[in-house]
Structure 1
């Protein structure tokens, strides 16, 4: 991972403009005949709740079916970001099927959002807050090249992987874990929030795009309460869900030469796993090597989460 992160960082920081490339349309449907394996953590959470994936799927599907307000919000937000609303529904339904169970009423998310305004916490690790940490000289290169919040925080994430993850720097040991898990989940690792199950780092990355398209206030890592309220409040977080999906579609077109806008399973997969630019660069590199061997390119594929979305596409399309 560190070697690949270094490759991505060098490509990003050099700002090398690649030659124009033809864009291949990824067809609808799953590339895998059978659903890829579901991670053990998802299975454990589901067993702990004495439920099943199918029961969780049906519960979140009912939330969509019974709540015209939610469907209307998704239609409006999707249109603003140039998305088919099925992409947003797929990402949300996948999260609540495999990660957390959905609340029965949209109002519950509003109530939860307000609760974070009075909670005291910060984005920090081992007593070092995030502002101090990203002020280290290792991150100077990011400040020099970042065009927006996505570039800035994505670069910082790559620097974390390259220079800090699992290392001891200036006498301080850093965990062998993701940047978002170490600095941006003050309550417990793996925590995500709201109907879109966003993590705070993703929200910070999408801040400028959401400000530009939806006119919402920009987020600041020094105000974690506002970040958490944003990802819990459906009136705010849906724009971040759309921006995340839009960013993945744009990255795969620009970097890897694939148009994934007709395949909600692939966009949902990227919503689930994150780091779309790194993955697009990885796919581009793989396909360059395949071409050199005279092999056909590999299309983007769905994981277990995206496989479900494509498999149940008829249900999702009926919502809109």
Structure 2
């Protein structure tokens, strides 16, 4: 009996030792992978030329806005802590957006004024007479019904759009060959992203569960477009959505690709710019499946953030 117990104990110990270790999480090195800045897209170049300005001038303008507003920096620091991210990630995303995509206002107060201009407006999300609420009731979206989180739900719906509707004629109705967000979530011609964080309405709907849980803001509803715009236009609320977006990117790169991007604001800025962190993390995981290590790479937008990191961290 004692011999049997002893052999069992030895076998158990050997089995425990033989169990494979949990996959190692690799820390992405600081800095840029590219020695020189990748090319800036032509659309961004044309917008900047049309505004008779330069990327350097736009960078300096948003940097000066941040440097002159200690209250804004305090909010960024506080919200970053709530979402468990370093504030440089939020600084980087704000700088990238206002250097390459839009112009910064001179004062934070101007963002509140702009947000107030949208308050009470009557508009909705939809396409060609069909509201987004009606559209997602179509049978093609049935597989999304059991999704438990707002991120999973809207990601599923976005995938269905790409697979079943984009550029197709469905039951006699033609749908544009364009992104889900551009077709159904752009009631204005001014652009798809708004506010200090330049948040896309669809992105806000994806992140609403996290923002509600962490920051306590009401959950957004696609049937109330005004409330979605109120959230992404208001600087205080939009900062929470920005932080949630960055937190999600860090989490999925860790859980899917096995890499930690939390100390490389150029990578989080790149993902903030290009979107689809889940898909990009999955692609990186597949690329690394053979054991060779490939790091995520920054684009032109993230490259600037890493290149100016010391200057931007000095703002905090």
> After TM superposition, is the score higher than 0.5?
yes
Out of 292, 305, 312, the position equivalent to 1:309 is 305
Matching of residue 268 in structure 1 with residue 269 in structure 2: yes
> 2:52 — aligned with what?
50
Question: Aligned ranges for residues 30-179 of structure 1 at < 5 Å?
Answer: 30-144=32-146, 146-179=147-180
The structure number with the bigger radius of gyration is 2
* 8 Å Cα contact 1:131-1:222 kept in structure 2: yes
**In the superposition, relative to structure 1, how do residues 274 and 163 fare at CA in structure 2: closer, same or farther (>3 Å)?**
same
RMSD: 1.2
* 8 Å Cα contact 1:182-1:189 kept in structure 2: no
Tell me the secondary structure at the aligned position of residue 248 of structure 1. helix
Question: Aligned ranges for residues 195-210 of structure 1 at < 5 Å?
Answer: 195-210=196-211
> 2:225 — aligned with what?
224
> 1:318 — aligned with what?
314
CA distance in 2, matches of 1:66, 1:189: 28
* 8 Å Cα contact 2:77-2:87 kept in structure 1: yes
CA distance in 2, matches of 1:190, 1:23: 38
Matching of residue 246 in structure 1 with residue 247 in structure 2: yes
> 1:13 — aligned with what?
none
> 2:4 — aligned with what?
none
Q: CA deviation at 1:190?
A: 4.3
* 8 Å Cα contact 1:23-1:257 kept in structure 2: yes
> 1:3 — aligned with what?
none
Structure 1: 5+ residue stretches without partners: 1-18
**Deviations 1:89-138 (Å, cap 9, x if unpaired)?**
00011000000000001011111111212222110111111000111111
Q: CA deviation at 1:20?
A: 4.6
Say how many residue pairs are matched: 296
* 8 Å Cα contact 1:167-1:175 kept in structure 2: yes
Q: CA deviation at 1:189?
A: 7.3
CA distance in 1, matches of 2:191, 2:157: 19
**In the superposition, relative to structure 1, how do residues 134 and 189 fare at CA in structure 2: closer, same or farther (>3 Å)?**
farther
TM-score by length of 2: 0.92
> 2:295 — aligned with what?
299
Tell me the secondary structure at the aligned position of residue 288 of structure 2. helix
Structure 2: 5+ residue stretches without partners: 1-20
Tell me the secondary structure at the aligned position of residue 161 of structure 2. helix
TM-score by length of 1: 0.91
